[in-house]
Structure 1
C-alpha cells in the first residue's frame, strides 16, 4: 500500500471473531443486576422485619408503660379525691364544732344575763331600787326600713308590789336635715297610744316591729318611764341608735 505523506499511520491487529462474547457480557451484567436487586430486596425485607419487630417490641413496652401510668394516675386521682373528701369532712366537722361552741357561748351568756337580771330583781343594791329601764334591743329585718324592738322595764325591790305607770318611747332623728322626734305610737302597730301602759310586779317586756318613714335617719331613742301611786317616780334613759344585724 502506498503511504500518503504527512498522514498518521495506525497499526492494524488481526483478532479472532467471537460473536457470542457481547451476549455473554450482556447476560452477565443482567445477572449481576438481578442479583443486586434481589439482594437489595431481601436485605431491605430483612431490615424491615427487624425494624418492625423492634417497633412492635417498643409499642408493647410503651403500652405496658401507658397501662402502668394509667393505673398510677387513677390511684393518685383516688388519693386526691379521698384527701378532698377528708378535707371537706374535716372542714364541715370543724365548722359544726365552731358553730356549737358559738351557740353554747351565746347560751351561757344569755343564762348569765338572765341570772344577773333576776338577781338584780330580787336583791337590788342600796342605790338601785324601784322603777328601772332595763335592756333595749333593736334588730334588723329583711326590710331596710323595718326593725324589731324589745324593751325591758323592771322593778328592783326586796318586797315586790304591783307597779303601775306609763312609758313614753320616742325616736329622735333627722328628716331632710331637720331634727324630728317620732313617737313609737306613730311607727308601730303594736302600740295603741303615746303613753304605753305599765303594770307588772317584776318586769314587763315591750316588743314589736316599727317602720321608719322614708328619708328619716334615726340618731337615738329617748325613754321616759313614770310610776304612779304613793312612791311615784320618773326615770329617763337614752340609747344610741344601734341595730343588731340578723
Structure 2
C-alpha cells in the first residue's frame, strides 16, 4: 500500500515538474495559437491595404493618362482651328481684293504666282491666280504665257513653259472667268538649267486690249519655294 502511494506521488510530481518546465520554456499552446491567429489577421489586413493602394495607384495612372490624352486632343483641335482661321482670313483678304471697290480702275490682274518642287527631279508645280478688279458683266477671256529666264551652260536662256509639261505634252493656258481663276500645272526643266525668274504674260481677248506682264523672281535656296 505504501509503495502504491509512493508511485502515485512520484508520478504526480513528475507531471507537475514537466508542465512547469513547459511554461518556463515559453511553450503555452493557447498563447501560441493566439499569437498565430493575431499575425494571420495582421497579414490579411496588410494584404488588403496593399491591394487598395495598388488599385488607387492604377486609378491615378489611368487618370493621368486620360488627362494627357485629353490635353493632346484639345491641343490638336485648337491647332486645327487656328490653321483653319488663318486660311479663312487669307481667303477673305483675297476675295476683298477681287470683288471689292478699287480706286485704280478696272481690268485684269495677276494676283499671284507660285512654283514649288514636287519631289521629282527638275519637276515643279505652278499655280497662277488671275483676278478682275471689277466685273462688267462679260467674262474675261484670253491666254497666258509663262516664260522662264535663267542660264544654261554659262549662257543666258529663256524657256517657254508651254513646251515643258511634265507629262510630255504642251502647256496651253487659257482663262475665262468673271471674278478670278486658278491655273495650275506641272513642268519639267531641262538638265543644267538654272532658273532666275518667271515672266507672266496675260493676253486678254478683244480688239482694244493690251498684254499684262509681271515678273516673279525664283526663290533662293532655303527660302519658301513659292514666288508671288
Is TM-score (shorter-chain normalized) higher than 0.5? yes
TM range (shorter): 0.5 to 0.7
Question: What is the match of residue 116 of structure 1?
Answer: 97
Cα pair 1:160 1:202 within 8 Å, conserved: no
Shift of 1:90: 3.4
Measure the CA separation in 2 of the matches of 1:48 and 1:68: 30
Q: Is 1:98 equivalent to 2:76 in the alignment?
A: no
Structure 1: runs of 5 or more not aligned? 1-34
Shift of 1:169: 0.5
Cα distance change, pair 54–211 in 1 and its aligned pair in 2 (3 A): farther
Shift of 1:68: 0.3
Q: CA RMSD in A?
A: 4.3
Number of residue pairs matched?
210
Cα distance change, pair 191–115 in 1 and its aligned pair in 2 (3 A): farther
More displaced stretch, 193-202 vs 163-172 = 193-202
Question: What is the match of residue 243 of structure 1?
Answer: 225
Question: What is the match of residue 61 of structure 1?
Answer: 42
Greater Rg over alpha carbons, structure? 1
Question: What is the match of residue 22 of structure 1?
Answer: none
TM-score, length-scaled by structure 2: 0.65
SS at match of 1:46: coil
Cα pair 1:184 1:191 within 8 Å, conserved: no
Structure 2: runs of 5 or more not aligned? 1-15
TM-score, length-scaled by structure 1: 0.61
Measure the CA separation in 2 of the matches of 1:134 and 1:160: 20
Shift of 1:79: 2.4
Measure the CA separation in 2 of the matches of 1:148 and 1:206: 11
Question: What is the match of residue 125 of structure 1?
Answer: 103
